[in-house]
């Protein structure tokens, strides 16, 4: 009897796990489509079904106003963070959803510790917050560009683990997705943006700097993911060369998380029973 693919096959081994040492991004096929329904159209259909279920779960989360959910999206330029947000959360009621983009720190942000601006944006009770980039930029960019040494990097990994543990212990469920594309796929996507002048706004020539350091970034991601994938805030690597499959997989992960919370509508209020309004 063969077993189908499991979402957990794409989970980064937990920090401290023996398998974590062997974790390699290069070994993961960016073009894989393990959860595909067979075609792009079928995947869109599947995503729509997932979207409907996500909407139901999210309304309960919002109604209950007790638990909090945080989704962290990371990935190289053009890996599809914006597209994932649009695709997966399209059917979710905008009322209980908060998208938080993190860009290069402003002087005010940079003059505090790197978790300061992130902490200010964590989800409130009943909220589903999506971080479009996150505090992980602060162990990726300076690591590659030489702003921090490896001792400082290890210190930050630990600070991140401690911070996420605290969030988890105080009622926030966390899921982290790295959208994993190949260098070749990035080339195609950047080229497509360049060749279409109406897409130039999505692209800045300085984005090419990160591409020049592709291998160093892959290495930085590998280190960061292995050091911060935990039971309370696991990392998943999403094969992201296929956009429709990427959306299906992120949707499945989020739906699984929400369903595991056993969200229910709050109990009926006794004082309202039989009340007639005039």
The residue within the footprint of a second copy, chosen from 5, 29, 52, 86 (CB under 8 A), is: 86
- The tokens of 186 are what? 């990035």
Q: Which is nearer to a second copy, 10 or 89 (CB)?
A: 89
Question: 176 vs 189, which CB is nearer to a second copy?
Answer: 189
Rounded to a whole number of angstroms, the distance between the first and last alpha carbons of the chain is 64
126 in Cβ contact with 95 (< 8 Å)? no
- Tell me the pairing of strands 235-239 and 128-132: unpaired
Over the chain, what HEC string results?
CCCCCCHHHHECCCCCCHHHHHCCCCCCCCCCCCCCCCCHHHHHHHHHHHHHHHHHHHHHHHHHCCCEEEEEEEECCCCCHHHHHHHHCCCCCHHHEEEEECCCCCHHHHCCCCCHHHHCCCCCCCCEEEEECCCCHHHHHHHHHCCCCHHHHHHHHHHHHHHHHHHHHCCEEEEEEEEECCHHHHHHHHHHHHHCHHHHHHCCCCHHHHHHCHHHHHHHHHHHHHHHCECCECEEEEECCCHHHHHHHHHHHHHHHHHHCCCCCCCCCHHHCCCCCC
Q: Is 276 in the site for a second copy (CB under 8 A)?
A: yes
> Measured from the CB of residue 104, what is the shortest distance to a second copy in angstroms?
15
Q: Binding residue for a second copy (CB under 8 A) from 2, 3, 201, 260?
A: 201
d(C-alpha 182, C-alpha 76), whole Å: 10
Q: Which is nearer to a second copy, 84 or 230 (CB)?
A: 84
Count of residues that bind a second copy according to CB under 8 A: 42
- Residue number, 63 or 165, with CB nearest to a second copy: 63
Asked if 191 touches a second copy (CB under 8 A), the answer is yes
Work out whether 271 is an interface residue with a second copy (CB under 8 A).
Answer: yes
- Binding piece for a second copy, criterion CB under 8 A, among 107-115, 140-148, 183-191, 218-226: 183-191
22 near a second copy (CB under 8 A): no
- Does position 4 interact with a second copy (CB under 8 A)? The reply is no
According to CB under 8 A, which one of 28, 99, 148, 261 is a site residue for a second copy? 99
Among 92, 144, 153, 237, binds a second copy (CB under 8 A): 92
Provide, rounded to whole angstroms, the least separation between the CB of residue 205 and a second copy: 6
Least spacing, CB of residue 190 vs a second copy, in Å? 5
Task: Rank residues 237 and 255 by Cβ distance to a second copy and give the closer one.
Answer: 255
From 148-156, 216-224, 248-256, 265-273, give the range in contact with a second copy by CB under 8 A. Answer: 265-273
Residues contributing to the site for a second copy (CB under 8 A): 63-65, 82, 85-86, 89-95, 97-99, 101, 132, 187, 190-191, 194, 197-198, 200-203, 205, 208, 211, 265-269, 271-272, 275-278
């Amino acid at each position: 009897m063969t077993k189908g693919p499991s979402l957990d096959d794409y989970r980064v081994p937990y920090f401290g796990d023996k398998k974590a040492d062997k974790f390699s991004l290069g070994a993961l096929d960016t073009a894989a489509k393990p959860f595909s329904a067979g075609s792009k159209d079928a995947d869109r259909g599947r995503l729509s079904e997932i979207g409907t279920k996500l909407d139901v779960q999210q309304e309960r989360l919002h109604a209950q106003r007790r638990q909090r959910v945080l989704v962290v999206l990371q990935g190289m330029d053009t890996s599809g963070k914006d597209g994932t947000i649009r695709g997966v959360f399209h059917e979710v009621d905008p009322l209980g959803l908060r998208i938080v983009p993190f860009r290069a720190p402003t002087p005010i942000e940079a003059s505090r510790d790197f978790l300061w601006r992130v902490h200010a944006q964590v989800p409130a009770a009943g909220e589903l917050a999506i971080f479009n980039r996150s505090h992980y930029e602060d162990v990726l960019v300076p690591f590659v560009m030489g702003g921090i040494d490896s001792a400082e990097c290890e210190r930050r990994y630990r600070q991140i683990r401690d911070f996420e543990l605290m969030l988890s212990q105080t009622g926030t469920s966390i899921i982290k997705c790295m959208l994993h594309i190949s260098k070749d796929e990035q080339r195609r996507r950047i080229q497509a943006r360049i060749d279409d002048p109406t897409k130039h706004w999505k692209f800045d020539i300085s984005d090419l700097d990160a591409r020049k350091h592709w291998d160093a970034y892959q290495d930085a991601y590998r280190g960061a993911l292995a050091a911060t994938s935990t039971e309370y805030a696991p990392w998943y690597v999403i094969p992201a060369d296929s956009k429709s499959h990427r959306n299906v997989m992120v949707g499945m992960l989020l739906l699984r998380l929400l369903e595991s919370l056993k969200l229910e509508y709050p109990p009926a209020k006794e004082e309202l029973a039989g009340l007639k309004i005039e």
